[in-house]
Amino acid sequence: MTGFCGWFRLQGGPEENSDIQEMRRHLPPHGTISEACHDARYSVASSALHSHSLYRSSTLLVVVDGTPEISASGELADAGPARQIAGLYRQYGVKFTQHLGGNYAVALFDLAGSNCVLAVDRFGIRPLAFAIVDDLVIFGSTATAVYAHSQTPRGLDHQSLFNYVYFHMIPSPRTVFAGISKLAPAHQLEYNGGVAQPVRHWLPQYHYQSPRALRGKLLPLLGNAVSQMSGPANAGAFLSGGLDSSTICGLLQQTSSGKAPVFTIGFAQEGYDELEYSRLATDHFGLDLTDYYITPGDVLATIPEVAAAYDEPFGNSSAVPTLMCARMAKRAGIEQLLAGDGGDELFGGNERYAIQQLFSYYRFMPDWLDRMVMRPVFFRDAVKRRQRGFQHKIRRYIEQASMPMPDRTQNYNLLHMLGAATIFSEDFLRQIDTEEPVQLLREEYWQKGPPNQLERLLLMDYKFTLADNDLRKVNRMCELAGVQVHYPMLADNVVDFSNDIPGNVKMRRQELRAFYKQETKGFLPEKIINKTKHGFGLPFGEWLKQDADLSLAVSSNIDKLRSRAIFNTAFIDDLKHRHQTQHAAYYGGLVWVLAMLEEWLTQHRLDI
């Protein structure tokens, strides 16, 4: 709901206040306090919920978004966050981020040294985009704010469009705009002497403890985070009925004088409705539940505003139920919502973690057994032709287990299943690197630090699942609804605690969230502890086959893509056919991704 934008000119130059006014139009609209300052070398504007988001002295200019956690003493103890960060910089230089916690985005300009630092928190909860043009550093909380500056390069980045189809979002550090980047989570950009250097300022530290030493600590840590983040304002919470949201709602109830207000969404579609579990949590904790059943008509009505709200194409369809839930909270007078995002990535809750562990067992097979028995038996032509049965499954297991990590995590990605040449036009493919998405995954997976496969997968998901996807989804939809959102699972001490838990304790054999489930026994209903994961997944693929109006609008959007020279026209027809005749949910996901790409281009009046 807040943000900032501006520019620093390292060597001085003319004022460009017309640019700053245009950039401000692309900030989230709900900040109640505006601050700004201008000089020949800089122009900065902030939209915040609290004052002191901007600090200026004769040598420093600092602007901050979010709620950073800073241990300050003396005269800085009661100062605003921007001034406190200026104090950290004076004491520690560019390493000030190592003494900064919470969620934040910071832009700092050292006028005396003619250098600047841009930084975001561990998970990129508060985003920051930027462009560097000669000695001009342009920055903003949205990529569209940066793009609004007259000196920013024009045009869209074709590689980012490819990455969008691959990931259903555009992972950092790219943005959809050519020449504009966004900071990856836990990163800062140091720009000095004409050289821009991205630096990672945080990696998890693993100090494994015994299960006995860990026992009984999780709920108090989470309870403290919930208490701090709910604050004195009227607070509520998302409730999907899963482990994380139910835990947060139960802890919120403990801090409430009356019934804690919680909000959930239902779907009148078999296999998708989770209201049973939300009501179970409500009865168990004594919550005040507001629920709503989303319809295909709701989806159709919100597609244009969802696309317009994002500063880049965004293809996670659960943005729609997130927005509907946040709007229910807003109508109920809620000022801030607590969300349970992060629990799966901290405590080992995604099914792919168990799948990848199964594949990892293959490395213990003796080489002679693999070479002399397994491959001769299961890779015979007769087995390859059969494409079914037990022997086919064993062959597929060996094929996938033999792949390197993290490449094999992408086996079911549609781009690998169908092939990039099938999906994209030849002219488009000549401009991009089809290997970049997997290379991005490799770079994150092989970071120094994580001691085992599970921790590497979790670290990879910190970025690609949380920062680039889930947090972007929830943040922007809550901004659109006009409520603040906080993430107790991502409190610094909760994250640090999760990395004290050994991997074989987090996930015991094939049991996901083993430690978490043990710690919440007696607090959560047993039925919620043992339920399968779902969340606010939208049954878009099924509804697309059932609802004529939704189908017509989405089909029209996809047909418009034919003229943009990105996709093979034959593929667009083939995708529609596959969705109608094969797996509606699987192929419907890509239909949504393409439809939202066209809608985003239309809403932002952009062309390829």
Position 316 in a domain? yes
Q: Residue 507's pLDDT is what?
A: 94
H-state helical runs in 379-449: 381-386, 389-401, 414-418, 420-423, 426-429, 436-445
Within this chain, do residues 309 and 356 fall inside the same structural domain, yes or no? yes
Q: Residue 77's pLDDT is what?
A: 67
Within this chain, do residues 18 and 152 fall inside the same structural domain, yes or no? yes
The model's confidence at residue 13, banded by pLDDT at 50, 70 and 90, is low
Can you list the positions of beta strands (E) in 10-100?
33-38, 42-48, 54-56, 60-69
Q: Residue 462's pLDDT is what?
A: 97
**Please, what's the b/e burial string for 140-179 (b: 16 or more CB within 10 A of its CB; e: otherwise)?**
bbbbbbbbbbeebeeebbbbbbbbbbbbbbbbbbbbbbbb
Position 559 in a domain? no
Position 425 in a domain? no
Q: Is the pLDDT of residue 37 over 70?
A: yes
User: What is the rounded average pLDDT of the residues 477-485?
Assistant: 95
Residues 202-231 have pLDDT tens digits of: 999 999 999 999 999 999 999 999 999 998
The model's confidence at residue 16, banded by pLDDT at 50, 70 and 90, is low
Within this chain, do residues 382 and 342 fall inside the same structural domain, yes or no? yes
Q: Residue 469's pLDDT is what?
A: 97
CATH number (domain holding residue 145): 3.60.20.10
Residues 382-426 have pLDDT tens digits of: 666 777 778 878 888 888 888 999 999 998 898 998 999 999 999
How far apart are the C-alpha atoms of 385 and 408, rounded to whole Å?
A: 23
Of the candidates 3, 6, 25, 28, the one whose C-alpha atom is nearest the C-alpha of residue 15 is 6
Q: Residue 31's pLDDT is what?
A: 65
User: DSSP 3-state assignment of 128?
Assistant: coil
Position 594 in a domain? no
How far apart are the C-alpha atoms of 393 and 378, rounded to whole Å?
A: 9
The DSSP output letter for 260 is P
User: What is the rounded average pLDDT of the residues 6-32?
Assistant: 79
Instruction: Provide the number of structural domains found in the chain.
Output: 2
Within this chain, do residues 291 and 218 fall inside the same structural domain, yes or no? yes
CATH number (domain holding residue 280): 3.40.50.620
Of 63-77, 81-95, 398-412, 468-482, the least confident:
63-77
Domain end, chosen from 200, 225, 248, is at 200
Within this chain, do residues 157 and 254 fall inside the same structural domain, yes or no? no
Q: Residue 74's pLDDT is what?
A: 65
Q: Which domain holds residue 171?
A: 3-200
Position 563 in a domain? no
H-state helical runs in 446-491: 453-461, 471-481
Residues 525-569 have pLDDT tens digits of: 999 999 876 656 789 999 999 999 999 999 999 999 998 889 998
Q: Residue 191's pLDDT is what?
A: 93
Within this chain, do residues 177 and 316 fall inside the same structural domain, yes or no? no
Position 466 in a domain? yes
Residues 84-143 have pLDDT tens digits of: 999 999 999 999 999 999 999 999 999 988 899 999 999 999 999 999 998 899 999 999
Strand-pairing partners, residue 238, are: 263
Position 357 in a domain? yes
Within this chain, do residues 323 and 182 fall inside the same structural domain, yes or no? no
Enumerate long-range contacts of 543-550, CB under 8 Å, 24 or more apart: 543/269, 543/296, 543/299, 544/579, 544/584, 544/588, 544/591, 545/579, 545/580, 545/584, 546/296, 547/296, 547/297, 547/300, 549/296, 549/297, 549/300, 550/296, 550/297, 550/299, 550/300
Within this chain, do residues 226 and 358 fall inside the same structural domain, yes or no? yes
Q: Which residues contact 170 (CB under 8 A, 6 or more apart)?
A: 160, 163, 164, 176, 312, 313, 468
User: Can you read off the two tokens belonging to residue 154?
Assistant: 């024009």
Q: Is the pLDDT of residue 29 over 90?
A: no
Q: Is the pLDDT of residue 485 over 90?
A: yes
Q: Residue 265's pLDDT is what?
A: 93
Domain end, chosen from 200, 227, 253, is at 200
Of 69-78, 500-509, 552-561, 573-582, the least confident:
69-78
Average pLDDT, the chain: 92
Within this chain, do residues 232 and 189 fall inside the same structural domain, yes or no? no
